[in-house]
Amino acid sequence: MISNDFIGEELYKKIVEVMPIPTVDVLVFNSDFSKTLLFCRNNEPLKNSHYSLGGRLNMGESFLDCAKRKLKEEINFVVNLDKLIQVGTISEYFVEGNKKFHFVNIYFSMVLNENNKLKLDNQHSGFKWFDIKEVGIHPYLKEKISNCIKNKK
């Protein structure tokens, strides 16, 4: 059973200080996997940087359902579950100032037409298609992109 209990901001901050957080991300690619769609983050970590979309896994939620939910919440996109490919897991650790973030990230890939109109939520200020070989892509993303390409179907 999926819990719809919301963790308040203060409690979440305390949890983040002492525990890794399970998260699910979706890496979006164009049809030939030469580009990936990244979103400019409004929140820490990586505030004002482009990264894949996603977020924390809810209690009782499957990885696949979380991926579908994040697509709907963050870019107002409804996807057929068979279009999402579970690719792998990565441990992401960020230190920004005196704050530390540790995520255990399960990630999926999917293909999206580059002309799709997307409606962003308040977690992102914009989005852009990046060539997968672009130098400035975060190392965690580079690893995830590489694995997505190896596992594309």
The residue ranges of every structural domain in the chain are 12-150
Q: Is the pLDDT of residue 4 over 60?
A: no
Q: Look up the CATH number of domain 12-150.
A: 3.90.79.10
First-last CA distance in the chain: 31
What is the per-residue pLDDT for 12?
85
What is the per-residue pLDDT for 2?
53
Instruction: Measure the CA–CA gap between 75 and 46, rounded to whole angstroms.
Output: 19
| b/e per residue 27-53 (b: at least 16 CB within 10 A) | bbbeeeeebbbbbbbeeebbeeebbbb
Q: Is the pLDDT of residue 116 over 90?
A: no
| 56 in Cβ contact with 22 (< 8 Å) | yes
